[in-house]
């Protein structure tokens, strides 16, 4: 029932220059994907109004995946996460006024349907942000409920008032109203004496998720978008469903997951649990496929930490322990590694725009098992920090040609820049963009990377991170040299015999060799070995 179809769609022969012989791009129709997170407003403007739109994404699909396996021009992306696309009064659209439409700033439902068709043609799955912890304060449900609060119960079986009283208006019970002011509650103003829960903001009233009618509404919303062709959902603010009550939040997510599986048995659900490792693992009890791996991400996460302290052995052990933990709770769990997202400072900034470190960070998290998530512009080293608007700046398609480049979100004030956009980096073989393309290509050629069981290895060099990944009887080895100097590693044992280099990533030049059981790696480099 769960998620993995395991159908090999095609094996396309591909020539890889320099580091390997003829390899295969293995396209497997399951829920493992290389995801790309898009803030539509800032991605690509197709009509010149300064705001990114859905047609802009369609126009740029060749950048993500051109479906021509004989070239190395595209990123190799096969999954897209669209940040909120539904109507909203705010620029970020995390407060929805209509769950069944496309925000007019972004286009039409026909534009969305065309995007889905084009993505399906390329084998790209699309998931959308689903915000059901709260609505906008401008949502018709909330506006109707507020109006009825001021109308005392009529006491009749059928409401006798022209406007429904608060006893008869079902939308009153869609939210958490109280005549007592509590933490996280805001005044309704009119009528006075009433308060409503809005843990994030007074313009984001929380839904009453205990109400069966609300749960049915959310089910209908999910069903609608599944019928439109989405592969699943990124579920926002999971820990806030029942603030301070993990057990009830897990129960709600489990219920939602089961309802969605009834309409699409391989629906993909990834949840946002911005918390510690212990809390995240609790949410895997819901049966949802994935949760973003926050402990490994951001400036204080394990990925950046290992680059700074060079504890390669510690990183591989942490990786094995993490996978073992989530798989012990749900054997179908799919980790969701990333390095930064729309709520965090961009990774290029906290890596001080050091090209070697940016490449190494990419190599570390992209070669973790699971579904990796690239935040748009990360692959070209975009920067941005401080207020949220600064983390969601326009995609830099070129530093000399402004075609398609959007206006910055309102109130953005970040002045940092990058020297080369997509157009410039496509011409530079040493660029971060070219590194990402090669990295994802290696992943697509070796399905063990995303799907395999991790076993950490100690190659007697603390700065070397090494682990094997085994999937369907096939095993590969991933080795990162995190040191500032060359690593000479002994792979002469029987279990390493007959290994060949199947992918290599060098951040700073040099040569990787495997000869007579000796593996030589330059500083800050990665190699993938396979029998």
Q: Report how far residue 108's alpha carbon sits from residue 106's, in angstroms, rounded to the nearest whole number.
A: 7
Is 458 an annotated catalytic residue? Answer: no
| CB-based contacts of 482, cutoff 8 Å, min separation 6 | 306, 307, 310, 312, 360, 463, 464, 465, 524
Closest CA to 26 of 383, 450, 422, 310: 450
Backbone angles phi, psi at 19, to 5 degrees: -105, -10
Q: Report how far residue 146's alpha carbon sits from residue 187's, in angstroms, rounded to the nearest whole number.
A: 11
Closest CA to 103 of 133, 134, 131: 131
* Per-residue DSSP letter, 405: P
Out of 29, 113, 114, 236, the active site residue is 236
Question: How many Cα atoms sit within 13 Å of 186 on the Cβ side?
Answer: 14
Question: How many Cα atoms sit within 13 Å of 62 on the Cβ side?
Answer: 5
| CB-based contacts of 430, cutoff 8 Å, min separation 6 | none
Q: Report how far residue 184's alpha carbon sits from residue 181's, in angstroms, rounded to the nearest whole number.
A: 9
C-alpha torsion sign, points 301, 273, 346, 436: positive
Neighbour tally for 357: CB within 10 Å = 19
Helices (H) and strands (E) in the chain, counts: 15, 20
Q: Report how far residue 466's alpha carbon sits from residue 215's, in angstroms, rounded to the nearest whole number.
A: 45
Pairing of strands 464-471, 453-457: antiparallel
Out of 78, 206, 272, 335, the active site residue is 272
Bridge partners of residue 467, in order along the sequence = 456, 478
Is 428 an annotated catalytic residue? Answer: no
Class of residue 277 by CB neighbours under 10 A (exposed 0-12, middle 13-18, buried 19+) = middle
Closest CA to 359 of 459, 480, 462, 489: 480
Mind giving me the DSSP string for 71-103? ---S----EEEEPP-S--SSSS--S-S-TTS--
Catalogue the E-assigned strands of 198-342: 232-235, 268-271, 290-291
Two structure tokens written together for 108: 């039409």
Q: Report how far residue 42's alpha carbon sits from residue 56's, in angstroms, rounded to the nearest whole number.
A: 10
Find the helix or strand (DSSP H, E) in which 529 lies. Answer: strand 525-530
Q: Following CA atoms 359, 360, 361, 364 in sequence, which dihedral angle do they give, to the nearest 10 degrees? A: 130
Catalytic residues: 236, 272
């Amino acid at each position: 029932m769960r998620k993995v179809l395991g159908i090999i769609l095609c094996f396309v022969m591909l020539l890889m220059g320099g580091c390997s012989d003829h390899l295969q791009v293995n396209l497997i129709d399951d829920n493992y994907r290389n995801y790309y997170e898009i803030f539509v407003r800032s991605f690509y403007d197709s009509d010149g109004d300064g705001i990114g739109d859905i047609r802009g994404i369609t126009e740029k699909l060749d950048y993500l995946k051109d479906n021509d396996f004989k070239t190395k021009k595209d990123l190799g992306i096969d999954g897209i996460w669209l940040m909120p696309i539904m109507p909203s009064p705010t620029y970020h659209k995390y407060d929805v006024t209509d769950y069944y439409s496309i925000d007019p700033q972004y286009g039409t439902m026909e534009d969305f349907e065309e995007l889905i068709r084009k993505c399906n043609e390329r084998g790209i799955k699309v998931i959308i942000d689903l915000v059901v912890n709260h609505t906008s304060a401008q949502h018709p449900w909330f506006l109707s409920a507020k109006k009825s609060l001021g109308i005392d119960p009529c006491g009749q079986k059928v409401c006798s008032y022209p406007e429904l009283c608060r006893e008869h208006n079902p939308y009153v019970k869609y939210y958490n109203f109280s005549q007592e002011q509590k933490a996280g509650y805001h005044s309704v103003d009119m009528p006075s004496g009433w308060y409503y829960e809005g843990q994030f903001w007074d313009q984001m009233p929380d839904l009453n998720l205990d109400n069966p009618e609300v749960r049915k509404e959310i089910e209908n919303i999910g069903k609608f978008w599944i019928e439109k062709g989405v592969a699943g959902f990124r579920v926002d603010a999971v820990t806030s469903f029942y603030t301070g009550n993990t057990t009830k939040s897990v129960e709600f997510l489990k219920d939602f997951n089961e309802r969605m599986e009834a309409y699409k048995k391989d629906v993909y659900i990834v949840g946002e649990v911005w918390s510690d490792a212990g809390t995240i693992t609790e949410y895997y009890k819901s049966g949802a496929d994935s949760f973003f791996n926050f402990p490994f991400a951001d400036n204080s996460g394990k990925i950046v930490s290992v680059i700074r302290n060079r504890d390669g052995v510690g990183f591989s052990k942490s990786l094995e322990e993490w996978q073992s933990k989530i798989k012990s709770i749900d054997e179908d769990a799919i980790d969701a590694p990333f390095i930064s997202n729309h709520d965090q400072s961009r990774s290029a900034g906290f890596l001080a725009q050091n090209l070697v470190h940016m490449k190494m960070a990419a190599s570390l998290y992209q070669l973790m098992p699971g579904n990796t998530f690239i935040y748009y512009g990360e692959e070209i080293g975009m920067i941005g920090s401080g207020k949220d608007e600064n983390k969601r700046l326009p995609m830099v398609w070129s530093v000399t040609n402004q075609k398609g480049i959007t206006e910055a979100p309102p109130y953005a004030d970040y002045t940092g820049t990058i020297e080369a956009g997509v157009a410039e980096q496509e011409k530079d073989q040493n660029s971060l963009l070219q590194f990402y393309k090669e990295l994802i290509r290696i992943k697509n050629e070796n399905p063990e990377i995303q799907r395999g069981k991790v076993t950490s290895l100690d190659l007697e060099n603390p700065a070397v991170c090494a682990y094997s990944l085994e999937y369907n009887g096939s095993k590969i080895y991933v080795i990162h040299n995190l040191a500032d100097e060359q690593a000479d590693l002994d792979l002469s044992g029987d279990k390493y015999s007959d290994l060949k280099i199947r992918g290599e990533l060098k951040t700073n030049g040099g040569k990787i060799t495997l000869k007579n059981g000796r593996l030589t790696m330059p500083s800050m480099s990665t190699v993938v070995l396979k029998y």
